[in-house]
Amino acid sequence: MAGKKDDLSDKVFCITGANTGIGFITAKWLLKYKATVLMCCRNENKAIQAREELMKENECNEEKIHIIILDLSDLNTIQGIKLKLKFKKIQKIDCLINNAGIMFVPKYEESPQGYEMQWATNYLGHFYLTQKLMEFLNASEEPRVINVSSQNHWLMASKNIEDVLEPMNESNYNAKIAYGDSKCCNILFTMELVKQYPNLQSYALHPGWVWDTQLANHLKMSFGGFSGLVTGVIKSVHKIGSFFINDAKSVEQGASTVLFCSISNQENLSIGAYYKDCVLSQARKDLTNEIAKQLWEKTKNKIKK
């Protein structure tokens, strides 16, 4: 983005899931660079607590940090976001960081609109939110959308790419595959977004295996009484480094690629591409422009219902 890296005072960043994990750390560093941050969160009490911590650490006031309450799994809560931003006198958004997500939900759950919960939260909610915020993104000279995906789009998604285009149902539900599918959709969304809006920059990314966040709660719970031990081992792996898990990262390290894609100058990035460890990476080869367009059209039809 234009301007010096240590001065983002004229930039507005909107971050989903900004009260915890990678979203919180991303907000912290953007505030250090004097940016204005919009925290899109589901839980108001946790959002207020996080904002107080951020204001104290960065010595800034509420004019620099705004809380927007919404639940990405429920499109109805996203519907009124434009009025909320105008009430707060927000005139533009320079960068939307679609970061929030859930992972490995053990039992099949549906969103209020009737879609599998991981697909609805990780992908559909962000698709809808981005559309609703387009008026504010278009008001920026260099609008940018960052979609946090995962390397799990390689490892755990449906083998047949056509199956990624529809959310799983109760009869075929698999927690890991549903998560991987949603992360494939994040990448496909990124690819088509820049075609639908040529003035927009968009990047997808894998932040690394950042287990010490709320995102991994369902995985920890699956170990039952051993969840404390598992969490301890995960933290130990972070301290040891990458000896056991090649891509294990702390929350701060996980936020680095998010920040890289959010504030690097455009000439240093490839629009519509997928990043890992702050460098260009390779997504699944069957995530083609044709598939991306198909997903876009299917998704548009779903949010019209």
Give the DSSP per-residue string, 124-183. Answer: IHHHHHHHHTHHHHHTSSS-EEEEE--THHHHTS-SSGGGGGS---TTT--HHHHHHHHH
**Which string of b and e fits 178-194 if b means at least 16 CB within 10 Å?**
bbbbbbbbbbbbbbbbb
Looking at residue 42, what is its pLDDT? 97
Domain ranges of the chain: 12-209+254-304, 211-248
CA dist., res. 104 & res. 80, Å (int)? 29
Query: Which strand (E) or helix (H) includes residue 117?
Result: helix 117-119
Q: What is the pLDDT of residue 269?
A: 97
Q: Which two tokens stand for residue 167?
A: 């959310």
What mean pLDDT do residues 24-29 have? 97
What pLDDT does residue 211 have? 57
User: Is it the case that residue 124 has pLDDT exceeding 50?
Assistant: yes
At residue 68, φ and ψ (nearest 5 deg) are -120, 115
Provide the pLDDT for residue 218. 43
User: How far apart are alpha carbons 251 and 130 in whole angstroms?
Assistant: 25
Backbone angles phi, psi at 130, to 5 degrees: -60, -40
pLDDT > 90: percent of the chain: 80
The encoded tokens of residue 84 equal 């909320």
**Mean pLDDT to the nearest integer, 277-305:** 96
Is residue 239 over pLDDT 70?
no
Across 105-131, average pLDDT: 98
C-alpha–C-alpha distance, residues 182 and 94, integer Å: 25
Note the pLDDT of residue 155. Answer: 87
Lowest-pLDDT range of 66-80, 174-188, 223-237, 242-256: 223-237
Q: Which range has the worst mean pLDDT, 51-65, 142-156, 224-238? A: 224-238
Q: Name which CATH class applies to 12-209+254-304.
A: alpha beta
Strand partners, 271: none
User: Phi-psi category of 107—alpha, beta or left, where left has phi over 0 and alpha has psi -120 to 50?
Assistant: beta
Q: Which range (20-34, 43-57, 180-194, 246-260) has the least confidence?
A: 246-260
Length of the chain: 305
Least confident range from 125-139, 143-157, 234-248, 280-294: namely 234-248
The pLDDT assigned to 236 comes to: 42
pTM recorded for the entire structure:
0.89
Mean pLDDT of the chain: 89
Give me the mean pLDDT over the 224-241 stretch.
41
Q: What integer is the mean pLDDT of 218-229?
A: 41
- pLDDT at residue 223 above 90? no
pLDDT over 70 (residue 94) = yes
